């Protein structure tokens, strides 16, 4: 496999497990068992049943007639926004909670920035009756009050991270500290295709249901399983990994990853990792990340909290370096405009993360008979206040 992960946990030059020795037993236990557990018929059956009855899968593949007409190409939307909890993230948290159960764990920890992954984790912990602790920077707790309330209502304990900049990376440090102290009974649910091996691969496999469905849905609608393009926004990269997964090795299918350029790539307020990032280690894996000359992680910025991450997962670093995926950076203004356009052309209000993917049409021209699938990663309910402030609605 040229683009997917190798047996030693690397995507080309990227990936691996760069972790403190005290974390090694936890990660190693997961590494030794995850593929075996995922291959068990009883695991697959329970995972698929929950995706169907609890999440509401398969999510529709919808032909966007008016949007297609406007850009003179054939645009299909993969409706992850219709999942329970409103985004793709729950595909992964369902998979990981079943994994945790099979490993005999009784306690779940997670870290969250904007709170979306925290909510998806608290949701599946309620579903399974498991203890749930979510670490969150003190600043983020103040900024993301509705998601904090959701997590509490779902029965999770939200613990503030009080050190450093009191945001996502500090919450991550707290979660890692917790895991080192509770190696036996605790599973750490990571929310994107980031972290030490095997997390990026495990999360990609749970999200791969997205492209698995696109294949047969497109066959029904277009008579072929392969589109010409698959487009997805990238924060850490999990919704893109899921939408790309079954097409990674088929280079007839072109992949487009859309990053957040914030106020402009070179404005100093951006999250365009492919352009600005250099090789380094973040969250236990070798990948591309935004850093100072001395290797300190730079604070990213995007209007969308879910794309506001200083790195990308190692799969995407590899797709970028090899040229397998084209990376396009979209500013806040372009994303907001595209979100409004989708709302008014198709009656679908997207998450602001997702809006970035819809802004590519001013950067890239498609042919009239191209089939373009856009992964509609989430719905915009959570972002309504942002849209209100921006458009003065």
Q: How far is the CB of 292 from ligand PLP (least distance, A)?
A: 24
Helix and strand totals (H; E) in the chain: 16, 14
Q: How far is the CB of 104 from ligand PLP (least distance, A)?
A: 28
Q: Does 239 bind ligand PLP (CB under 6 A)?
A: yes
State phi, psi for 222 to the nearest 5 degrees: -120, -5
Residue with tokens 């500290």: 177
267 given a catalytic annotation: no
Q: Which is nearer to ligand PLP, 140 or 353 (CB)?
A: 353
Catalytic residue among 111, 174, 213, 353: 111
Half-sphere exposure at residue 308, Cβ-oriented, CA atoms within 13 angstroms: 20
Tokens of 182: 């509770």
* Span interacting with ligand PLP, options 6-14, 103-111, 228-236, 358-366, rule CB under 6 A: 228-236
Q: Which DSSP state fits 195?
A: S
Q: Does 238 bind ligand PLP (CB under 6 A)?
A: yes
List the one residue from 109, 351, 360, 372 that touches ligand PLP (CB under 6 A).
Answer: 351
Q: Does 134 bind ligand PLP (CB under 6 A)?
A: no
Q: How far is the CB of 185 from ligand PLP (least distance, A)?
A: 27
377 given a catalytic annotation: yes
**By Cβ distance, which residue is nearest to ligand PLP?**
378
Q: How far apart are CA 86 and CA 333, in angstroms?
A: 23
| Number of C-beta neighbours around residue 129 at 10 A | 8
Q: Does 378 bind ligand PLP (CB under 6 A)?
A: yes
Q: Does 314 bind ligand PLP (CB under 6 A)?
A: no
Q: How far is the CB of 24 from ligand PLP (least distance, A)?
A: 25
* Span interacting with ligand PLP, options 15-23, 44-52, 138-146, 232-240, rule CB under 6 A: 232-240
* Span interacting with ligand PLP, options 94-102, 223-231, 235-243, 360-368, rule CB under 6 A: 235-243
Q: Of 205, 244, 206, which is closest to residue 227 (Cα–Cα)?
A: 244
| Number of C-beta neighbours around residue 72 at 10 A | 12
Please give the full DSSP string across 198-249, using - where no structure is assigned. Answer: THHHHHHHHHTHHHHHHHHHHHHHHSSS--SEEEEE-SSSHHHHHHHGGGTT
- Which residues inside 279-308 make contact with ligand PLP, applying CB under 6 A? 306-307
Strand order in the sheet with 371-376: 61-63, 74-79, 371-376, 229-233, 254-262, 325-331
59 given a catalytic annotation: no
Number of residues that bind ligand PLP (CB under 6 A): 18
List the one residue from 73, 123, 274, 354 that touches ligand PLP (CB under 6 A).
Answer: 354
Tokens of 202: 């495990």
Q: Which DSSP state fits 298?
A: P
* Cβ proximity of 373 and 239 under 8 Å: no
Q: Does 89 bind ligand PLP (CB under 6 A)?
A: yes
Catalytic residue among 68, 74, 78, 89: 89
Instruction: Report the catalytic residues.
Output: 89, 111, 377
Residues that bind ligand PLP (CB under 6 A): 87, 89, 116, 192, 233-239, 306-307, 351, 353-354, 377-378
């Amino acid at each position: 496999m040229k683009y997917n992960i190798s047996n030693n946990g690397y995507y080309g030059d990227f990936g691996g497990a760069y972790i403190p020795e005290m974390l090694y037993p936890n990660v190693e236990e997961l590494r030794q068992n995850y593929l075996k557990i995922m291959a068990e018929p009883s695991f697959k059956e329970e995972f698929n049943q929950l995706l169907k009855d609890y999440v509401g899968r398969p999510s529709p593949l919808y032909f966007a007639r008016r949007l297609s007409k406007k850009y003179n190409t054939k645009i299909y939307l993969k409706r992850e926004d219709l999942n329970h909890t409103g985004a793709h993230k729950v595909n992964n948290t369902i998979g990981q909670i079943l994994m945790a159960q099979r490993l005999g764990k009784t306690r779940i920890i997670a870290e969250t920035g904007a709170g979306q992954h925290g909510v998806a984790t608290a949701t599946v912990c309620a579903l399974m009756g498991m203890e749930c602790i979510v670490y969150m920077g003190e600043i983020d707790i103040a900024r993301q009050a509705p998601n904090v309330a959701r997590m509490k209502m779902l029965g999770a304990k939200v613990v503030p991270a009080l050190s450093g900049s009191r945001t996502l990376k500090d919450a991550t440090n707290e979660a890692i500290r917790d895991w080192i102290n509770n190696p036996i009974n605790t599973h750490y649910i990571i929310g994107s295709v980031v972290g030490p091996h095997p997390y990026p691969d495990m999360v990609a496999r749970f999200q791969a249901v997205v492209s698995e469905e696109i294949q047969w849905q497109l066959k029904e609608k277009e008579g072929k399983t392969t589109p010409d393009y698959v487009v997805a926004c990238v924060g850490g990269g999990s919704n893109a990994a899921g939408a790309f997964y079954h097409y990674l090795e088929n280079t007839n299918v072109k992949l487009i990853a859309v990053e957040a350029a914030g106020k402009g790539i070179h404005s100093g307020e951006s999250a365009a990792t492919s352009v600005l990032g250099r090789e380094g280690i973040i969250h236990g894996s070798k990948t591309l990340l935004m850093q100072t000359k001395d290797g300190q992680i730079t604070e990213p910025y995007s209007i969308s909290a879910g794309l506001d991450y200083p790195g990308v997962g190692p799969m995407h670093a590899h797709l970028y370096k090899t040229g397998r995926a084209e990376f396009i950076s979209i500013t806040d203004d372009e994303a907001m405009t595209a979100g409004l356009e989708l709302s008014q052309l198709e009656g679908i209000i997207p998450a602001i993360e997702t809006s970035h993917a819809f802004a590519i049409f001013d950067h890239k021209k498609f042919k009239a008979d191209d089939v373009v699938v856009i992964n509609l990663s989430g719905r915009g309910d959570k972002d309504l206040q942002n849209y209100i402030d921006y458009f003065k609605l």
